[in-house]
Amino acid sequence: MRYIKTPHHLFARNPQARPSNAGAIWRRLCWVNEQVAVSGDLSNHDSEALGQLQKWMSEGVTDIIDLRGEASHESFVAKHAPGITYHWLGVDDEGGRRSGEWFEAIEALAQMIFKDSKRKVVIHCHMGVNRGPSAAFTALITNGINPVEALTQIRSARPVASMMYSFDAIQWFAHREGKSASEIELAFQEVLEWHTDNPLDVSYCIAQLGNRYAA
């Protein structure tokens, strides 16, 4: 399969691609559909993290998929929310190509969770900008949601969601589905057109979230 690189310029500084009140979105629980929410991570302050967990439980969360390679809250969740199943699929967020194994692991967890309509999952990374939303995109497209619809649903729910890895995800998925080279390129182009029409100033979002963290 010929790999097409992610067009990072679509996520460059752009005053016209800056969501309002970006800093307030960090740890907000953003529901994409009835079973999937995207968020930032649990606070490093136990009292705040406990409050987050209590909110998640009150909204029916049964599963957490944590995409952070740099941290884990597995023991904290096990202690304070034993009814929630914690899944760790951590990777670093250096912006490089994501492996097929990572997408396969996300797909397997998503399919397991979606089989039970009573289960609800929070998919998160650190700030909820790239890894978490990209994993949510993967979960949706591998369970029958049109890629453009998936992108729209996630960005509508979480305005700071960049989903940079959606370019890798769509190529992996189309190849896995046995698509031809031209069909894979067409699928990539559909994702590219969506991102072109919906650019996001990622540096701005991270800065705003970082200011909220510093506060």
Residue 11 inside a domain? The answer is no
**Domains in the chain, number:** 1
pLDDT at 210 over 90: no
Residue 202 inside a domain? The answer is yes
Residue 4 inside a domain? The answer is no
Span 38-59, mean pLDDT?
97
pLDDT at 215 over 60: no
Contact between 6 and 172 (Cβ < 8 Å): no
Which residues are within 8 A (CB) of 171 and not within 5 positions of it... i.e. 6 or more apart? 1, 3, 4, 184, 187, 188
pLDDT at 211 over 80: no
- CATH number, domain with residue 92: 3.90.190.10
Residue 38 inside a domain? The answer is yes
Which residues are within 8 A (CB) of 150 and not within 5 positions of it... i.e. 6 or more apart? 136, 137, 140, 141
Residue 2 inside a domain? The answer is no
Residue 144 inside a domain? The answer is yes
Residue 19 inside a domain? The answer is no
- Binned at pLDDT 50, 70 and 90, residue 203 comes out as very high
- Binned at pLDDT 50, 70 and 90, residue 176 comes out as very high
Question: Domain range spanning residue 116?
Answer: 30-214
Which stretches of the chain are assigned E, i.e. beta strand?
30-31, 36-39, 63-68, 85-91, 121-124
For residue 153, what pLDDT is reported? 98
For residue 212, what pLDDT is reported? 57
For residue 214, what pLDDT is reported? 42
Give me the DSSP letters along 87-124. Answer: EEEEE--SS-PPPHHHHHHHHHHHHHHHTSTT--EEEE
Q: What is the pLDDT of residues 75-112, one digit of tens each?
A: 999 999 999 999 999 999 988 899 999 999 999 999 99
Residue 15 inside a domain? The answer is no
Exposed, middle or buried by CB within 10 Å (0-12, 13-18, 19+), for 129?
buried
pLDDT at 15 over 80: yes
